[in-house]
Amino acid sequence: MAFTITCPICGPRSGYEFRYGGQDKGPRPDPAEMTPETWCDYVHMTDSCPGVQKEWWYHRAGCGIWFTIYRDTTTNLEVSPDSPEAVA
Amino acid sequence: MFGLHKRLWAARPVKSSYDAVIIGGGLHGLATAYFLARDHNITNVAVIEKRFIGFGGSGRNTAIVRANQRTQENLPLYKEALDLWPELTRELDFNLMFHNCGNLNLAHSEAALKAMRLQVASAQFLGIDSRLLDPKECKEVVPALDISGRPRYPITGGMYHPPGGIVRHDAVVWGLAKGCSRRGVHIHQGTEVTGIGFEKGKVAWVDTDRGKIRTPRVLNAAGGYSAGIASRLMGLRLPISVLTIQAMVTQPLKPLLHHVVSSGAYHCYANQTLKGEIVTGAHMDPWPNFTTQTTAAYIKHQAEFVTEFLPCLKGAKFMRIWGGLADMTPDMAPIIDGHVPAEGCFLDCGWGYFGFKSSTVTGRYMARYMATGECPEILQPFALKRFQEHRLMGETAALVDYSANN
Amino acid sequence: MIRLNHLPTLRIKPGVPRSFTYGRRRLQGVEGDTVATALFANGVRVFGRSLKYHRPRGLYSLDGESSNTLVNVDGVPNVCAETTLLADGMCVASQNAFPGPDFDALGFMDALSWAMPAGFYYRMLHKPARLWPLAVPVIRKMAGVGTLAPDFQAPGRRDEIYPAADVCVIGAGVAGMSAALAAAEAGLRVVLFESRPWPGGAFEYRPGAARDGVACFQKTAELAAAVKASPHIRLFLNAPVIGVYSNGLVTAFQRGRSPHPFDERYIEVRAASVVVATGCIERPLLFEHNERPGVMQAGCAHRLARTWGILPGRTAVFSVGHDPGLEAAVDLFDLGVEIAAVADLRQDGLDPALVDALSRRRIPLLRGWSATKAHGRRRVAKVTLAGANGRFRKTLDCDLLVASAGFTPVTGPLTLAGAKLAFDERTGFFLPTCLPPRVHAAGRITGRQDWHAVAASGRLAGLCAIQDNGIDQTAAIGELADALGSLPGPVRGAKFVIAPDSGKKTFICFDEDATVKNVDQAMAKGFNVPELIKRFASVGTGPGQGGIPGHNLPLYVHQSGASPDAQPRPTTVRAPLTPTFLATYAGARLDMSKRTPIHDLQVAAGGRMERLGVWHRARRFSEDVHSREEILSVRTAVGILDASTLGKFRIFGPDAVKVLDRVYVGDMTRVPRTRAKYSAMCNEDGCLIDDGVIVRTGDNDYYLTTSTGRAGVTVEWIRYHTRFDDWDFGIVNLTDAYGVINLAGPEARAVLQRVTDADVSNEAFPFMGYREFAVGEVPLRAMRLGFVGELSFELHVPASWMAYVWNLLMDAGKDFGIRPFGLEAQNTLRLEKGHVIIGSESEQRTTLHDVGLGFLWHRDKPWARTVGDAALRQTEHQPGRLKLVGFRMADPSASPPRDGSVIVDRRIRGYVCTARYSVVLKEPVGLALVEDDSSAKGAPLAIYEDGCGGRLIQAVVTETPFYDPEGLRLRL
């Protein structure tokens, strides 16, 4: 597999230039209001279902920004944000 | 004379109800089914496997066994597992090919030596044979090692663990399937679980593509797919990232490596199978995925690194690489639990790439858990709630790089 | 042997000899020979012995599909003789045979094959249990081919290249060259890989006429000349492709040529489009003793004559299932081989011209017949042929049996790229039903055999590749597709799988001596998918992988009716497609590591450098592993440490302080201009991941340090945790821009004052102060910190001035006895102060509270949403955690326990993080992580050291710091 990620600034590059930052779970909840359950859900828990997921990546060997892509975890290929799988 | 024409396991019709349904025909599932039948007389059990038995990690791991982990929660489980191979070989009348060759884990820094000393002291305290060697002694054990200052991370010592070794992973799958089948367990290959039904807060049935099965107990032991099954069919999200782990073998050679050799700094291991192939692996690309695709970068990485400390292997040729799924938890320890999210639901997952070593013994205790409803003490530390209580297991000293939380 | 030296297709120079040794014999080949052809030309027929049964094995194909011809060359085992070009002076030796391949002491194993059915090891040798450990060494010795010495040093040089291309074409046969030329004509950059030493593929040697009457080899040579002339095509010969991946990544390696056969090059190409034109190999014919030396494939026999000028035998019998096989019979007859008979598996569909050519030469043709048994002990002497139903049979004398059931497309590259294959009834091939984007298949791999059709399909693939590069080719593609439609289509393949009445020694896999009977045995055991049969019966898992059994196994399993699938299903292909030396993959092995600006100065001062992560650092400056002198000089005079590896960052902008408050546990809103603030970062779990100091260098402008290990990830950490906030700030990694010198000890000020005009007195520059001044003429940043527990100055110096400042300080310090100190001394010094090193006194699960740094946490900044804040709240008073404590030995004269020793009662309660003998305190001190109920002052600790045999060491929890608890010496 030649995993390729499209950086919004640098374009399509080898996946090894990037660091994975997890499934997108939205902004961090207010820590003061977090219970152990909600904290754990935000920090540790994942869906881990095969299919398309929105996720964060950091261009470590490049421009140094965090951005999101949609990726099909059953093929390791990027999916357009407009595609039905991504919208669903 | 060899029972040539006797099938190892029988193909049976799917019944409409079982006393226990096990999702996943891998080692953990088969072992649990086997011990349910052997120790608890629960033989009306179905093992449901989407592909064929041993399709996942059970048939893709590199079959190394050892009991030199870091924590006292893990060590007893792995120690018992080591003792179980000869017992099962006899009982299943199937040669699991346990080759007790010993493991040598190399250190390449002061810090690594210190980490090893903790592992060695813990093992010794618990009565497990494990010792520290200096570089010269390492070389005496494994003459092919380069203990000079040439490698980028020179060898500073090693942790030698004589009771470890290798087992033939396929044999364990087939042997357990044989044992299960002889004791009446049904193994349904090519069958997919599509739903899990609950009644009054208890598990009541599973839906499969071959019909609905009523059952009071369901074990999720689906390896790389267990977290997806938990979240999709049980409504239970788990702290699991599924990564691809790769391994490869060289063409077979005459005996060269007589031990399992591994190195944390170079992140790889090597050992020679009975057939003569050098097996090497360990690297994982740190992003979750459900492919078993292999990568060009990995082969190269592996060749570069394994030949740093075993330079003679430059003269061997890689002939096959493969990938499997590893369901990694944040603390590199499994999740073993029961009655979550509902009574009758059991979990045995999150084993990452180390699920082979203690599969049989975990199956034995999981069977007891499922039969009695009481969690055996040895399994208690692996409960799911440790994550929300900020009590990671400590099996890995360092932070793991597939998690965003480091 | 005399070569046929006037053929136009020869690739050898018969007049240029190459001498080599084989065992004890001195032999001669010629330039252009492979090791295999040179041996064959010298009369060698048995090349080696098989893995399990030690059966004699000979030349069967010429592209390394089996391991029959693996030999040892110049000490390198398992060298494929068929694909290695002969070099002058090579030492070739056979493998797996003693004393030699012609007579092998273990040859009797063949007679014992009945005792080793499929899955033999699973069912035997474990009863009684003590038998198995005795059997293992014997099995290991018997297994494996080729010997590698533990001190083996790989010959040859290696490099690696990473070219980019618009189009990558795999296979420089007629289709591949046509595709490459089409793309090159459009001006695209093409990389073309060919595994043989010359281009041309299957047509390169064939004298038969193409549709236009010109001989195939001639037409092919013209294409090759055009390829070589094209400036846009980079042709790699002798370069097998080993991997194909998604997104157009193709890996290959290029073999060395004489005189350096082991110089190899790893090649990784990223291409916008990939054309797979790998053609076909031959499908082995299954019959009894189908792998006897003297049995060879049609292409092998034909190429031996046409390419290397070697007649493959005197009297031949052919048993084939395709027209190129008939063509070979005709051509070999014309070249001087006597042909006793040609059996063709097909009843009809034979090329009438070839049938006619056979009859004109009075070569008997037996339609619907095949070989059923080869006779002869070490090589073929006779062959039994039989009709389809096995009723008629005849036995003929011969020394060559050309056997080939059909063709197998080399689909490995397609499968690896992600193509789906399905069984095709007409060709009998597994053909792609769904190709991944920007991957195309062309040529014989699609079942076409006609020269013009193959060339056109290649050209068509070339046009598709142009289209992939964004140049519209719709019209041209349509046109060419139509033209291709009028050329001959895929050829019907022989359905034949196995000869009638084939006996017990019909080998489906040569490498692992697996017979069809073994496959039957596996199926009887309940294994019904080829993938599992492969494992249970060891078919296609040997050195040559699936090259021999890859196609026959699924066909055979399907024919037997055991498989649940309606159609045969291909077995999995895995990289590398050609076995490849680890040396080649390892390549040039460039080591990327960093040295600090004063690395060489430290080495000159006696520094013992160690690789720690990416850095080289000085562990100590003397033989003494405890670094006592270094420690004493810091405690009593002055020491100097290179701390350049610390992470150093600038964060600036209107929202900079918000950023700091997000990631640091402390309150960052009030960092004064002249003070350094010490703080820590936690992860979400409240676990300590970093500590360092923050200084304010201007309005909304901060400078901060991190631990060495965190330097590489701090930017991404900070940006990650602010990614939703849209804050206005910038962050710059200055780690390599500044070096750091730590000047520590009671005389540190006196030394520093000698080199600067700035006032560095305690009043002007107090503890935890931050100043900017010049040393010499070098502007630097200075902080008064106390990691080692003495008066100390941490000087951040522009990297290029580090050597200058270091030398200046060393000179100035001479009178005070200055000496450099290393990490070992620093470790003991900070231990005496009870200071924590992350990763040493903490692990993945250690929170800020656990190490006793909870006081750094500012709980009242809810606006900041500080990373780890929730967990710090939830764990603040949580019982049952491992806490960091200091300890002294119950007996102060005892040695300190080794780091990593465990603390026990009935179970393990914790462990020693660091313990050292303190020279200044004259007793050992240590830090340990222990369960909280053993962490109170005065609590006894029983320490279990590795190898202690149960004799515990007693220690007592004490307060830290051990040294200068009031911190007076920091403030001197």
Residues B310 and B349 in one domain: no
- Cβ contact, residue pair C153, B312, below 8 Å: yes
> What's the rounded mean pLDDT across residues A28-48?
91
CA C542 to chain centre: 19
Token digits for C778? 């070098």
- DSSP conformation class of C952: P
Q: Which residue on chain C is closest to A78 by alpha carbon?
A: C247
> What's the rounded mean pLDDT across residues C117-126?
86
- Cβ contact, residue pair B116, C900, below 8 Å: yes
Q: What is the mean pLDDT of chain B?
A: 94
Amino acid making up residue C726: D
> Is B76 part of any domain?
no
In the predicted model, is pLDDT for residue B3 greater than 60?
no
Residues C236 and C215 in one domain: yes
User: What pLDDT score does B2 carry?
Assistant: 44
CB of B311 within 8 Å of any CB in chain C?
Answer: yes
Q: C115 vs B2, B27, B383, C56, CA distance in Å?
A: 9, 30, 49, 20
Least Cα separation, residue A56 to chain B (angstroms): 9
> Domain tally for chain B?
2
Query: Which among C733, C758, C791 is the end of a domain?
Result: C733
Neighbors of chain B with 3 or more C-beta pairs under 8 Å:
A, C
In the predicted model, is pLDDT for residue C815 greater than 60?
yes
> Is C854 part of any domain?
no
Identify any residues that bridge with C954 across adjacent strands, giving them in sequence order: C942
- Cβ contact, residue pair A73, B289, below 8 Å: yes
In the predicted model, is pLDDT for residue C947 greater than 80?
yes
Q: Which residues in chain A touch residue C684, judged by CB atoms under 8 angstroms apart?
A: 39, 43
Q: Which residues in chain B touch residue A50, judged by CB atoms under 8 angstroms apart?
A: 225, 228, 290
pLDDT band at C124 (very low <50, low <70, confident <90, very high): confident
CA B317 to chain centre: 27
pLDDT band at C116 (very low <50, low <70, confident <90, very high): confident
Residues B311 and B246 in one domain: yes
> Is B395 part of any domain?
no
Q: What is the mean pLDDT of chain C?
A: 95
In the predicted model, is pLDDT for residue C413 greater than 60?
yes
> Is A10 part of any domain?
yes
Give the DSSP per-residue string, C377-442.
SSS--EEEEEETTS-SEEEEE-SEEEEE-EEEE--HHHHHHT-EEEE-TTT-SEEEEEPPTTEEE-
Q: Which residue on chain B is closest to C905 by alpha carbon?
A: B125
CB of A21 within 8 Å of any CB in chain B?
Answer: yes
User: What pLDDT score does B282 carry?
Assistant: 82
> What's the rounded mean pLDDT across residues C794-811?
98
Considering only the C-alpha atoms of chain B, give the largest distance between any 2 of them, rounded to a whole number of Å.
67
Residue of C114, C845, C948 to mutate, interface with B, max B Cβ within 10 Å: C845
CB of C245 within 8 Å of any CB in chain A?
Answer: yes
pLDDT digits (tens, 9 = 90+) for C421-435: 999 999 999 999 999
> Is B36 part of any domain?
yes
pLDDT band at C880 (very low <50, low <70, confident <90, very high): very high
> Is A31 part of any domain?
no
Confirm if C858 and C905 have CB atoms less than 8 A apart: no
pLDDT band at C416 (very low <50, low <70, confident <90, very high): very high
> Is A22 part of any domain?
yes
> Is A51 part of any domain?
yes
In the predicted model, is pLDDT for residue B193 greater than 60?
yes
Helical H segments across C814-891, by residue range: 823-832, 869-875
pLDDT digits (tens, 9 = 90+) for C725-747: 999 999 999 999 999 999 999 99
CB atoms within 10 A of CB C954: 13
What's the angle, vertex CA C749, arms to CA C745 and CA C755, rounded to 5? 125
pLDDT digits (tens, 9 = 90+) for C744-784: 999 999 999 999 999 999 999 999 999 999 998 999 999 99
pLDDT band at B399 (very low <50, low <70, confident <90, very high): low
pLDDT band at C566 (very low <50, low <70, confident <90, very high): confident
Confirm if B230 and B237 have CB atoms less than 8 A apart: yes
Identify any residues that bridge with B202 across adjacent strands, giving them in sequence order: B199, B343
Q: B350 vs B155, B156, B333, C366, CA distance in Å?
A: 32, 32, 7, 63
User: Looking at the partner chain, which of B230, B239, B296 has a beta carbon nearest the beta carbon of A44?
Assistant: B239
Q: What percent of chain C has pLDDT over 90?
A: 87
Residues B321 and B339 in one domain: no
CB of A30 within 8 Å of any CB in chain C?
Answer: yes
Q: Which residues in chain A touch residue C871, judged by CB atoms under 8 angstroms apart?
A: 39
Residues C386 and C530 in one domain: no
Contacts 24+ apart (CB under 8 A), C912-917: C912/C943, C913/C840, C913/C841, C913/C884, C914/C827, C914/C831, C914/C837, C914/C840, C914/C841, C915/C831, C915/C887, C916/C626, C916/C827, C916/C828, C916/C831, C917/C626
Q: Read off the CATH number of the domain in which C228 is found.
A: 3.50.50.60
CB of A84 within 8 Å of any CB in chain C?
Answer: no
Residues B380 and B248 in one domain: no
Per residue, the 3-state secondary structure of C187-225, as one string, reads CCCEEEECCCCCCEHHHCCCCCECCCCCEHHHHHHHHHH
What residues have CB less than 8 Å from C932, skipping those under 6 apart?
Answer: C879, C880, C881, C882, C883
- Cβ contact, residue pair B3, C535, below 8 Å: no
> What's the rounded mean pLDDT across residues C162-175?
97
Residues C779 and C633 in one domain: yes
Q: C302 vs C331, C337, C360, C402, C406, CA distance in Å?
A: 8, 11, 20, 9, 15
- Cβ contact, residue pair B293, C246, below 8 Å: yes
> Is A83 part of any domain?
yes
CB of A66 within 8 Å of any CB in chain C?
Answer: yes
Residues C634 and C745 in one domain: yes
Q: Which residue on chain A is closest to C859 by alpha carbon?
A: A32
- Domain span at residue C790? 626-644+737-830
Least Cα separation, residue A82 to chain C (angstroms): 19
- Cβ contact, residue pair B390, C525, below 8 Å: no
Token digits for B394? 């400590």
- Cβ contact, residue pair C122, B304, below 8 Å: no
pLDDT digits (tens, 9 = 90+) for C57-84: 999 999 999 999 999 999 999 999 999 9
What's the angle, vertex CA B26, arms to CA B22 and CA B27, rounded to 5? 100
> Domain tally for chain C?
7
User: What pLDDT score does B4 carry?
Assistant: 53
Q: End-to-end alpha-carbon separation of chain C, Å?
A: 93
Sign of CA dihedral B131, B136, B140, B142: positive
- Cβ contact, residue pair A41, B237, below 8 Å: yes
> What's the rounded mean pLDDT across residues C594-623?
95
User: What pLDDT score does C72 carry?
Assistant: 95
Identify any residues that bridge with B268 across adjacent strands, giving them in sequence order: B263
Least Cα separation, residue A83 to chain C (angstroms): 17
Q: What percent of chain B has pLDDT over 70?
A: 97
> Is C234 part of any domain?
yes
Amino acid making up residue C195: S
Residues C458 and C550 in one domain: no
Confirm if C586 and B307 have CB atoms less than 8 A apart: yes
Distance CA C200, CA C451 (A): 11
> Is B133 part of any domain?
yes
Q: Read off the CATH number of the domain in which B201 is found.
A: 3.50.50.60
Token digits for C463? 């046009």
CB of A3 within 8 Å of any CB in chain C?
Answer: yes
Q: Which residues in chain A touch residue B288, judged by CB atoms under 8 angstroms apart?
A: 20, 46, 48, 73
Residues B270 and B296 in one domain: yes
Q: Output b/e per residue, C322-350; b: 16+ Cβ within 10 A.
A: bbbbbbbbbbbbebebebbbbbbbbeeeb
- Cβ contact, residue pair B317, C580, below 8 Å: yes
pLDDT digits (tens, 9 = 90+) for C149-162: 999 999 999 999 99
User: What pLDDT score does C226 carry?
Assistant: 98
Least Cα separation, residue A88 to chain C (angstroms): 22
pLDDT digits (tens, 9 = 90+) for A70-80: 999 999 999 99
> Is B13 part of any domain?
no
Least Cα separation, residue C705 to chain B (angstroms): 18
Count of pairs with CB atoms under 8 A, one residue in B, one in C? 291
> Domain tally for chain A?
1
Sign of CA dihedral C706, C711, C715, C718: negative
In the predicted model, is pLDDT for residue C280 greater than 60?
yes
Q: Which residues in chain C touch residue A39, judged by CB atoms under 8 angstroms apart?
A: 684, 870-871, 874
Neighbors of chain A with 3 or more C-beta pairs under 8 Å:
B, C
- Cβ contact, residue pair C247, A19, below 8 Å: no
Distance CA C849, CA B245 (A): 36
pTM of the model: 0.95
Q: Which residue on chain C is closest to B190 by alpha carbon?
A: C564
Least Cα separation, residue A43 to chain C (angstroms): 7
Neighbors of chain C with 3 or more C-beta pairs under 8 Å:
A, B
User: What pLDDT score does B1 carry?
Assistant: 37
Distance CA C707, CA C735 (A): 11
User: What pLDDT score does A88 carry?
Assistant: 63
- Domain span at residue A51? 4-26+40-87
Q: Which residues in chain A touch residue C721, judged by CB atoms under 8 angstroms apart?
A: 28
Count of pairs with CB atoms under 8 A, one residue in A, one in C? 58
User: What pLDDT score does C389 carry?
Assistant: 75
User: Looking at the partner chain, which of C148, C246, C685 has a beta carbon nearest the beta carbon of B253?
Assistant: C148
Q: Read off the CATH number of the domain in which A52 is found.
A: 3.30.2270.10
- Domain span at residue B299? 103-162+241-328
Residue window 815-844, chain C: list those with CB within 8 Å of chain B.
Answer: 839-840, 843-844
Q: Which residue on chain A is closest to C870 by alpha carbon?
A: A31
Residues B157 and B272 in one domain: yes
pLDDT digits (tens, 9 = 90+) for C711-723: 999 999 999 999 9
What residues have CB less than 8 Å from C16, skipping those under 6 apart?
Answer: C30, C31
In the predicted model, is pLDDT for residue B142 greater than 70?
yes
Q: Which residues in chain A touch residue C870, judged by CB atoms under 8 angstroms apart?
A: 31-32, 34, 39
Residue of A44, A60, A73 to mutate, interface with B, max B Cβ within 10 Å: A44
Distance CA B119, CA C900 (A): 8
User: Looking at the partner chain, which of B242, B294, B387 has a beta carbon nearest the beta carbon of A44?
Assistant: B387
Residues B272 and B197 in one domain: no
pLDDT digits (tens, 9 = 90+) for C178-204: 999 999 999 999 999 999 999 999 999
> What's the rounded mean pLDDT across residues B77-95?
96
Q: Which residue on chain A is closest to B328 by alpha carbon?
A: A48
Q: Is the peptide bond before C961 cis (omega within 30 degrees of 0)?
A: yes
Query: Which among C518, C547, C568 is the end of a domain?
Result: C568
Q: B315 vs C155, C382, C584, C896, CA distance in Å?
A: 9, 40, 9, 46
Q: Which residues in chain C touch residue A27, judged by CB atoms under 8 angstroms apart?
A: 724
User: Looking at the partner chain, which of B100, B275, B299 has a beta carbon nearest the beta carbon of C575?
Assistant: B299
> Is C522 part of any domain?
yes
Q: Which residues in chain B touch residue C76, judged by CB atoms under 8 angstroms apart?
A: 315
Among the listed residues B290, B397, C718, C848, the one whose alpha carbon sits nearest the alpha carbon of residue A21: C718
Distance CA C57, CA C66 (A): 10
Residues B324 and B256 in one domain: yes
> What's the rounded mean pLDDT across residues A44-70?
95
Q: Which residues in chain C touch residue B115, judged by CB atoms under 8 angstroms apart?
A: 900
Per residue, the 3-state secondary structure of chain A, as one string, reads CCCEEEECCCEEEEHHHEEEEEECCCCCCCHHHCCHHHHHHHHCCECCCCCEEEEEEEECCCCCCEEEEEEECCCCEEECCCCHHHHC
Among the listed residues C313, C317, C320, the one whose alpha carbon sits nearest the alpha carbon of residue C335: C313
pLDDT digits (tens, 9 = 90+) for C447-505: 999 999 999 999 999 999 999 999 999 999 999 999 999 999 999 998 888 888 777 89
> Is A69 part of any domain?
yes
